[in-house]
Amino acid sequence: MFIDSHCHLSFPELAGDIDGVLERMRGAGVDGALNVCVTLEEFPDVARLAQAHPNLWASVGVHPDYREAREPDVATLVALARQPRVVAIGETGLDYFRLKEPLDWQRERFRVHIRAAREAGLPLIIHTRAAAEDTLKIMREERASDVGGVMHCFTESRQVAEAALDLGFHISFSGIVTFKNAQDLREVAAAVPLERLLIETDAPYLAPVPHRGRTNEPAYVAFVAEAIAKLKGLDRNRIGIESSRVFRRLFNV
């Protein structure tokens, strides 16, 4: 019924208990999860997990926060993207919150990912933090709209959401929508049309209420669906079914 559109099952908090993670997903009605890559060093593990489990998928990319990671080029990303079960390029994007200028390398890395996505014909998974304006500018300059994708763990304003929707992108909400202080974000989520809305955990981080502060995992994506259902005056299962349909269409699975 639910699909977790963004998690990191290869991180040490979860990698040692994949059987448990999968079992709890089943118990919570979570049919699948996209295991998102953050470095090329990590990619073999990310891909292997997806290749070993029919309800997991993988991405390939180097996250903007990983300054010291091996730098990807277009050809490498495109080649890795051809491996079985790889359905997206990312996560990529800009983060001016964790790291400070000069960040020319980060903007260039983002451009490389968009070029790779266009060449591979795969959607993008985009992370943006304290950098919305530059993120949108680079998306436009590099014609990210040719492939589309998702703005993951969305925490920006309604205007930024609308700009991303105009570029053909989807908006994914995490457990942050369940946090007490996230009223502004709930208003954004209420305004995003169901046919462009995804749900995610970003596990092992950002566990939703009532698990806030603990290790997050894909089974908890149902709490995200529940929070969004409340905002839209719909049933939790309806959010699960609709967002799963959106996921399968976007990632072509």
Residue numbers of the site for Ni ion (CB under 5 A)? 202
Q: CA-CA-CA-CA torsion for 48, 52, 58, 63, nearest 10 degrees?
A: -40
Beta bridge partners, 33, equal 4, 56
Identity of the residue, 95 or 202, whose beta carbon is nearer to Ni ion in the bound complex: 202
Q: Which residue is nearest to Ni ion (CB)?
A: 202
CB 114 within 8 A of CB 132: no
Beta bridge partners, 58, equal 35, 86
Identify the sign of the CA torsion 241, 2, 84, 124: positive
Q: How far is the CB of 185 from Ni ion (least distance, A)?
A: 17
Q: How far is the CB of 36 from Ni ion (least distance, A)?
A: 5
Q: How far is the CB of 90 from Ni ion (least distance, A)?
A: 9
Q: What Rg do the C-alpha atoms of the chain give, in angstroms?
A: 17
Q: How far is the CB of 144 from Ni ion (least distance, A)?
A: 18
Token pair of 168, please?
A: 């053909």
Identity of the residue, 185 or 236, whose beta carbon is nearer to Ni ion in the bound complex: 185
Identity of the residue, 30 or 236, whose beta carbon is nearer to Ni ion in the bound complex: 30
Identity of the residue, 4 or 202, whose beta carbon is nearer to Ni ion in the bound complex: 202
